[in-house]
């Protein structure tokens, strides 16, 4: 299995998916690394961690979260967060996924919580999902449910629960729909539902064939990675073969290409077939 194949296998977002290895993380950081504003520590990943693996449970939120009449000072009708008491929990709804992290922190502080929340651009298949979670030792993890995300640049409602008596410190990061021109900081599989190459058997196709498939969906290849060191290339011959690809930005993918047809192991072929399950002509 090649290094790129190991990366693609590692980012399979099924509940039992393994964590990307150090080699994958280093490679993806090279691709999407950007400066961090204001010194805030953010953990960026190539793919959103499966919720079942991170949280263990999902709290289904029904109905519209609202700001109660007894909201504390600092919670206004145009707040970025809305709080609704449900039993022993607060259901927190992120009303504005594009708000500055400082607004979120201030509104949590007004409720007496030491919680930092940030959002970052995510590809369509992962928009609205929890991408990063860190709590102090011994604290209860957040339970989360996202509803109605449209990407790129569409509406997205994210809600999650925290215990009403939560006293610890927590950091949360959610993938949000990307605006035009934004590069993804969180991404799913390029052939996942909602992504540009969904139901396209692109691995092993020529660059020109993949470009044609993308063009039908208003997409393009932004950059290439070539050679054993995954060197950056803006262009490659159209007759080269695509070995793998990842979402890059709205309407764009990043592709690994090589002059010879890639060779796939039986396991890789099985995984590729699984990715095409339910697609026209896959039976």
Instruction: Band the pLDDT of 215: cuts 50, 70, 90.
Output: very high
Cα(107)–Cα(82) distance, integer angstroms: 9
The DSSP bridge pattern shows strands 220-226 and 252-258 to be parallel
3 state DSSP class of 1: coil
Nearest to 17 by CA among 60, 71, 54: 54
Tokens of 149: 């995300």
b (16+ CB within 10 A) / e for 50-60: bbeebbeeebe
Percentage of the residues of the chain whose pLDDT score is greater than 90? 49
6 token code pair? 């190991």
Q: What angle do CA 231, 173, 83 make, to 5 degrees?
A: 160
Instruction: Give the start-to-end residue ranges of the domains of the chain.
Output: 1-40+187-283, 48-177
Q: Which residues contact 193 (CB under 8 A, 6 or more apart)?
A: 125
Q: Mean pLDDT of all residues in the chain?
A: 76
pLDDT digits (tens, 9 = 90+) for 163-214: 898 888 999 999 999 988 899 999 999 999 999 999 999 999 999 999 999 9
Q: Which residue has the tokens 């796939």?
A: 264
Is pLDDT of 5 > 90? Answer: no
Band of the pLDDT at 141, cuts 50, 70, 90? low
Residues 6 or more apart from 115 whose CB is under 8 A from it?
104, 105, 108, 162, 169, 170, 171, 172
Q: With DSSP H G I counted as helix, E B as strand and the rest as coil, what are the percentages for the chain, rounded to 5?
A: 20, 25, 55
Report d(CA 12, CA 246) in Å as an integer. Answer: 12
- State both tokens at 221: 């290849």
Predicted local distance difference test score (pLDDT) of residue 224: 98
Are the beta carbons of 246 and 191 closer than 8 angstroms?
Answer: no
Q: What is the pLDDT of residues 56-115, one digit of tens each?
A: 322 323 222 333 434 444 445 589 999 999 999 999 999 899 999 999 999 999 999 999
For 279, the token pair is 């697609």
* pTM score: 0.69
Report the SS3 class of residue 5: helix
**Angle subtended by helix axes 22-32 and 3-10, to nearest 10:** 90
- List the structure tokens of 200: 């396209």
């Amino acid at each position: 299995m090649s290094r790129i194949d190991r990366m693609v296998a590692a980012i399979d977002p099924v509940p039992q998916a393994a964590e990307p290895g150090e080699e994958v993380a280093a490679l993806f950081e090279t691709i999407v690394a950007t400066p961090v504003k204001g010194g805030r520590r953010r953990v960026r990943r190539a793919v959103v961690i499966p919720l079942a693996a991170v949280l263990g449970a999902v709290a289904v939120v029904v109905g519209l979260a609202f700001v109660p009449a007894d909201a504390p000072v600092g919670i206004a009708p145009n707040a970025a967060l809305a709080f609704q008491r449900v039993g022993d929990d607060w259901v927190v709804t992120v009303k504005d996924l594009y708000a500055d992290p400082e607004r979120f922190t201030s509104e949590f502080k007004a409720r007496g919580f030491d919680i930092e929340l940030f959002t970052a651009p995510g590809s369509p298949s992962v928009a609205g999902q929890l991408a990063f979670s860190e709590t102090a030792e011994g604290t209860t993890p957040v339970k989360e449910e996202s509803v109605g995300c449209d990407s790129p640049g569409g509406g997205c409602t994210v809600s999650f629960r925290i215990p009403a008596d939560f006293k610890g410190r927590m950091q949360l990061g959610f993938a949000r729909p990307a605006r035009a021109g934004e590069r993804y900081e969180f991404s799913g599989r390029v052939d996942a539902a909602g992504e540009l190459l969904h139901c396209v058997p692109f691995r092993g196709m020529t660059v020109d064939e993949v470009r044609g498939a993308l063009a039908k969906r208003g997409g393009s290849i932004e950059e290439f990675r070539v050679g054993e060191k995954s060197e950056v290339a803006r262009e490659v011959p159209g007759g080269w073969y695509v070995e793998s690809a990842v979402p890059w930005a709205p309407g764009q993918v990043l592709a690994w290409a090589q002059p010879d047809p890639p060779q796939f192991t039986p396991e890789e072929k099985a995984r590729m077939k699984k990715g095409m399950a339910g697609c026209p002509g896959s039976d």
